């Protein structure tokens, strides 16, 4: 708003200016608020309220309906610290993250690189490689349930051709977590592949041509061009995969139900069991809080140490 | 210095149609060779084949006397400047310049020495620590140039390196590139669609159209003796004016429109076999008719005063022609002016094939001057 101050009326004007400028100062904020309102409402109902409720519940013992019955302070957390079962769950979760995240990313990156070649019929491969993205957790888990079947499963049959003894994929405690990891990597591949392929296709072809004229080898191009140019995409996909790994639930529920001997009792599954099977909403909430801080810390660390290496154009 | 020879080279992307056909040319060591032609005529394709970035469908390529069809790009002793410069956006200017040397495991000391040398030559020293996005278009162009020079490859290929620059910078870089090429004795193959660049930079020019060579020659040869109507119209600014006409053998005249006739001298009558011809005349060869026979009374449709010369446009047979007169002229749009066409300066082309039947006599109108001290 433009206010012209002319000499005669100089004395009277400041009051009006103050009034106007108060309105105009807040105008932008009020407009912004209006735009934000839908997300604020949605987030409040579906994220913030449950979050605070979880924090609140973690300080209580609850009845079977999940209503707070008795305030116990930090006892739920103390219980977790001593709980053998929770330790196992944390360990399984960390191992699971370690197994799935790097292998998912490397596999998808490899597939994306070979699918980025301009060849006839490459579209078929791109579709195939990304196809697991369109499959639900339930459907993929069922597929793997069959593949892992100890006697009629395709994997053990294949092994028997090479005279390798049948493996009890989902029943043997030393194999179950690996089986779940294999399933998860397979499920991750589609989405990760698609995102990385998109990132690769954004890299200017001329950069590679220029490098080949300079006599750069495949690995040199990979190290000096592909990885740095892909770093924002890689950073994004690593973050997403990491968080997803911490939150894995569906495949555990369908394939192993947390067993055998709690070897696949990943933390989210553990929370689910605690809350909806044992009706211990208090300790379940406490576990959820622990998970929240786990993810928070890992993400902060990632941003702190990972983002430095990311090159944004 | 290395020679580049193309023998019967053809290129096809889809096995049906040729994008380039039967290209034969030999580029001499140390020569500045310009490839020019309209968009889509196959210039980049040809350059990329020489670089080894594109397969050669047919024919043979020799570099420095060796058969090079199957050599990898890095084995051909070339450097390449891309139209978009292809700088690595995540590396600094210095890292960009030594990228290739690093790939070839040149020792660090030498790398730095060569980098500084080249950066100094191109005035890039103050920018060595910057990223490409922190540079202006001209500076980026220079980095691309530096990267190609630092490789010390004897052959340098450039694909429209100046097309992203503004007019002033472009003319500056033109002379800079030319000087560097001379100083380093590079064999340069330079692609452009801009005929001014071709004329001003090339030792020799190859005009390409629709994948076929139209003419190869030095700039004046091409300007004065265009091999066909396409070259005549492509080279020169404003382009040569062309108009269909008929040759009347009995009367020994060329007839333009209905009642404009130009007498053909006896010794030329034999050379012109067709009835249907295309007559061409350069804008600077059209004069105001003072005492000569008037051929056309034209109506001016546009005037551009450029200071030292004036370009006047007019319509003939629904084609826009232009003429270029020296000096400044006060002419208004709509003025009617008498002009004459002198037979000596006419070019005549076969109307079917476009081949030149007669070129304008260069020495009568623009004598090639020489400085003798
Ligand atoms: N990869 C490709 N696949 C199929 N056709 C192509 C390919 N690259 C170029 N062409 C075709 O080849 C012809 C020549 O292309 P080229 O890029 O060499 O033209 P150009 O002379 O460099 O044009 P410009 O001045 O616009 O850069 C064009 O008709 C183009 O459509
Ligand atoms: Mg091109």
The pLDDT tens digits of the residues spanning B209-236 come to 999 999 999 999 999 899 999 999 999 8
Check B80 against A207: CB less than 8 A apart.
Answer: no
**For residue B116, pLDDT beyond 90:** yes
Share of chain B above pLDDT 70, in %: 97
Please give the structure tokens belonging to residue A54. 């979880």
From CA B320, how far away is CA B299, in angstroms rounded? 11
Is the pTM for the entire model greater than 0.90? Answer: no
**Is B41's C-beta closer than 6 angstroms to any atom of ligand 1?**
yes
From CA B346, how far away is CA B230, in angstroms rounded? 15
Q: What is the pLDDT of residue B259?
A: 67
Q: Considering chain B, tell me which residue range(s) the CATH 2.40.50.140 domain(s) occupy.
A: 229-361
Yes or no: is domain B4-224 CATH 3.40.50.300?
Answer: yes
| Fold of the domain spanning B229-361 | OB fold (Dihydrolipoamide Acetyltransferase, E2P) (2.40.50)
Tell which atom from ligand 1 comes closest to the C-alpha of B45.
18
**Is B147's C-beta closer than 6 angstroms to any atom of ligand 1?**
no
Q: Considering chain B, tell me which residue range(s) the CATH 3.40.50.300 domain(s) occupy.
A: 4-224
Strand pairing class (B78-81; B253-256): unpaired
User: Which of A213, A220, A313 is opposite residue B78, by nearest beta carbon?
Assistant: A213
Q: What is the pLDDT of residue A2?
A: 43
Cα–Cα nearest to B159, from B189, B195, B116, B119: B189
The CA distance from B19 to the nearest CA of chain A, in Å, is 20
User: Across chain B, how many H-helices and E-strands are there?
Assistant: 10, 21
Mean pLDDT of B187-212: 93
Cα–Cα nearest to A137, from A245, A238, A241, A248: A248
CB of A258 closer than 8 Å to CB of A249? no
* pLDDT tens-digit readout, B234-288: 998 889 999 888 888 888 888 887 767 777 777 777 777 778 889 999 999 888 8
Confidence of residue B342 (pLDDT cuts 50, 70, 90): confident
**For residue B189, pLDDT beyond 70:** yes
The sign one gets for the Cα dihedral B321, B325, B330, B336 is negative
Tell which atom from ligand 1 comes closest to the C-alpha of B14.
4
User: Which of B72, B84, B103 is opposite residue A211, by nearest beta carbon?
Assistant: B103
Question: Could you tell me which chain A residue has the CA closest to the CA of B81?
Answer: A210
Q: What is the pLDDT of residue B276?
A: 86
Contact B148/A at CB under 8 A = no
CB of B317 closer than 8 Å to CB of B243? yes
The CA distance from B100 to the nearest CA of chain A, in Å, is 5
Domain A83-309: give its CATH code.
Answer: 1.10.3720.10
**First vs last C-alpha separation in chain B:** 32
Residues 34-63 of B with CB under 8 A from A: 51-53
**For residue B192, pLDDT beyond 50:** yes
**Is B295's C-beta closer than 6 angstroms to any atom of ligand 1?**
no
Degrees to nearest 5, angle at CA B119 with B113 and B120: 90
Report chain B's mean pLDDT, rounded to a whole number.
88
Give the CA distances from residue B353 to residues A42, A55, B256, B278, B367, in Å, rounded to whole numbers and listed in that order.
73, 87, 19, 10, 29
Q: What is the pLDDT of residue B369?
A: 66
Please give the structure tokens belonging to residue B85. 């410069």
Give the CA distances from residue A78 to residues A72, A73, A285, A290, A292, in Å, rounded to whole numbers and listed in that order.
10, 10, 13, 12, 17
Positions in chain A whose pLDDT score sits under 70: 1-20, 313
Contact A215/B at CB under 8 A = yes
């Amino acid at each position: 708003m433009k206010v012209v101050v002319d000499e005669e009326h100089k004395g009277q004007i400041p009051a009006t200016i103050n009034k106007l400028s108060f309105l105009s100062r807040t105008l932008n904020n009020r407009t912004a608020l209006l735009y934000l309102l839908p997300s604020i409402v949605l987030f409040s109902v579906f994220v913030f309220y449950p979050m605070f409720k979880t924090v609140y519940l973690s300080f209580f013992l609850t009845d079977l309906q999940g209503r707070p019955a008795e305030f116990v302070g930090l006892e739920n957390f103390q219980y977790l610290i001593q709980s053998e079962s929770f330790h196992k769950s944390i360990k399984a979760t960390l191992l699971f993250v370690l197994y799935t995240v790097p292998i998912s990313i490397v596999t998808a990156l490899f597939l994306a690189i070979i699918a980025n070649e301009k060849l006839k019929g490459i579209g078929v491969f791109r579709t195939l490689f990304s196809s697991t993205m369109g499959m639900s957790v339930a459907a993929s888990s069922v597929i793997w349930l069959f593949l892992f079947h100890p006697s009629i499963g395709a994997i053990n049959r294949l092994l028997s051709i090479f005279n390798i003894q049948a493996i009890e994929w989902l029943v043997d405690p030393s194999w179950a977590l690996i089986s779940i990891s294999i399933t998860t990597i397979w499920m991750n591949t589609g989405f990760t592949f698609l995102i990385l392929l998109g990132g690769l296709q954004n890299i200017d072809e001329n950069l590679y041509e220029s490098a080949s004229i300079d006599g750069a080898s495949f690995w040199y191009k990979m190290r000096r061009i592909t990885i740095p140019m892909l770093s924002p995409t890689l950073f994004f996909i690593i973050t997403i995969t990491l968080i997803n790994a911490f939150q894995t639930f569906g495949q555990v529920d369908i394939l192993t139900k947390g067993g055998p001997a709690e070897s696949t009792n990943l933390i989210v599954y553990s929370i689910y069991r605690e809350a909806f099977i044992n009706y211990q909403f208090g300790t379940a909430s406490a576990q959820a809080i622990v998970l929240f801080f786990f993810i928070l810390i890992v993400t902060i660390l990632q941003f702190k140490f990972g983002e430095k290496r990311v090159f944004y154009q | 210095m290395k020679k580049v020879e193309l023998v019967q080279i053809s290129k096809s992307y889809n096995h049906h149609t040729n994008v380039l056909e039967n290209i034969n040319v030999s580029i001499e060591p140390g020569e500045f060779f310009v490839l020019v032609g309209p968009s889509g005529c196959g210039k980049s394709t040809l350059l990329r084949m020489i670089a080894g970035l594109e397969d050669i469908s047919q024919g043979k390529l020799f570099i420095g006397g060796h058969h090079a069809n199957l050599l990898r790009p890095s084995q051909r002793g070339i450097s390449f400047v891309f139209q978009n410069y292809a700088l690595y956006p995540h590396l600094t200017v210095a890292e960009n310049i030594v990228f290739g040397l690093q790939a070839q495991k040149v020792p660090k000391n030498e790398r730095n020495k060569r980098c500084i040398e080249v950066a100094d030559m191109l005035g890039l020293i103050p920018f060595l620590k910057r990223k490409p996005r922190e540079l202006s278009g001209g500076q980026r162009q220079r980095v691309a140039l530096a990267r190609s020079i630092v490789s010390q490859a004897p052959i340098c290929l450039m694909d429209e390196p100046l097309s992203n620059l503004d007019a002033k910078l472009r003319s500056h870089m033109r002379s800079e590139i030319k000087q560097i090429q001379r100083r380093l004795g590079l064999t340069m193959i330079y692609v452009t669609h801009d005929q001014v660049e071709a004329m001003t930079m090339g030792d020799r020019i190859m005009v390409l159209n629709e994948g076929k060579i139209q003419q190869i020659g030095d700039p004046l040869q091409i300007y004065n003796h265009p091999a066909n109507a396409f070259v005549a119209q492509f080279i020169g600014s404003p382009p040569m004016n062309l108009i269909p006409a008929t040759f009347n053998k009995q009367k020994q005249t060329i007839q333009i429109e209905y009642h404009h006739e130009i007498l053909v001298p006896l010794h030329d009558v034999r050379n012109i076999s067709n009835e249907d011809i295309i007559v061409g005349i350069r804008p600077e060869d059209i004069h105001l008719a003072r005492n000569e026979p008037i051929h056309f009374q034209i109506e001016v449709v546009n005037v551009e005063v450029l200071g030292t010369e004036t370009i006047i446009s007019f319509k003939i047979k629904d084609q826009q022609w232009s003429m270029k007169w020296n000096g400044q002229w006060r002419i208004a749009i709509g003025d009617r002016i008498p002009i004459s066409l002198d037979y000596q300066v006419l070019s005549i082309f076969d109307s079917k094939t476009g081949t030149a039947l007669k070129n304008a006599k260069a020495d009568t109108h623009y004598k090639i001057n020489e400085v003798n001290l």
